[in-house]
Chains A and B, each alone.
Chain A
Amino acid sequence: MAPLFEARGLHLRFGDRVVLEDVSLAFPAGTLSGIMGPNGAGKTTCFNVLTGRYRPDRGQVLFGGRDITGMAPHRIARLGIARSFQLMNLFDEFSVFENVAVALPATRRRVADPVGRAYGEPATVAAAMAVLERVGLADRADQPAKSLPYGARRALEIAVALASDPQLLFLDEPTAGLGSDGRARLAELIRALKRHVTIVVIEHDMDFLFGLADEISVIHWGQVIARGTPAELKANPWVMASKLGDGA
Chain B
Amino acid sequence: MSDPLLVLDRVGKVYRRGRLSRETAFRLDIDRSFAGRQIVGVLGPNGAGKTTLFEMIAGSNQPTSGQVRIAGQDIHRVRPRERDRLAIHYHQSYQVRRFRHLRPAWLMERAASPYPLVHLFDEPQFNTQDGYIGFMLDFFRRLKGEDRLVFVCLHPTAPFQIDILREICDRFLFVGGGAVRGFDDLPAAVAEPAVRRYLGALADHAEAEPTV
Contacts and interface: CB of A to CB of B under 8 A. Distances in A.
Interface of A: 13, 16, 18, 21-22, 37-38, 206, 218, 220-221, 223, 225-226, 233, 236-239, 241-245
A245 B129 CA distance: 10
A16 B132 contact: no
A244 B125 CA distance: 18
Nearest to B81: A16
A38 B125 contact: yes
Given A16-B81, A18-B84, A18-B88, A225 B128 contact: no
B116 interface: yes
B138 A225 contact: yes
A223 B135 CA distance: 12
Contacts of B128: 238, 241-242
Contacts of B132: 37-38, 218, 220, 238
Nearest to B93: A40
A239 B115 contact: no
Nearest to A233: B135
Contacts of A218: 132, 135
Given A38-B132, A225-B139, A238-B133, 13 more contacts: A16-B80, A18-B84, A21-B88, A220-B135, A223-B139, A225-B135, A225-B138, A226-B135, A226-B138, A236-B138, A238-B134, A241-B131, A243-B129
B81 A238 contact: no
Contact of A38 (B130, B137, B212): B130
Interface in B136-169: 136-139, 142
Q: Is the interface of A mostly helix, strand, loop or mixed?
A: mixed
B139 A238 contact: no
Contacts of A220: 132, 135-136, 139
Contacts of B116: 21
B160 to A, nearest CB: 9
Given A38-B125, A243-B129, A221 B90 contact: yes
16 contacts: A18-B88, A21-B88, A38-B127, A220-B135, A220-B136, A220-B139, A225-B136, A226-B138, A236-B131, A237-B212, A242-B128, A242-B129, A242-B130, A242-B131, A242-B133, A243-B131
A236 B135 contact: yes
B136 A236 contact: no
B130 A206 contact: yes
A237 B130 contact: no
B137 A238 contact: yes
A226 B139 contact: yes
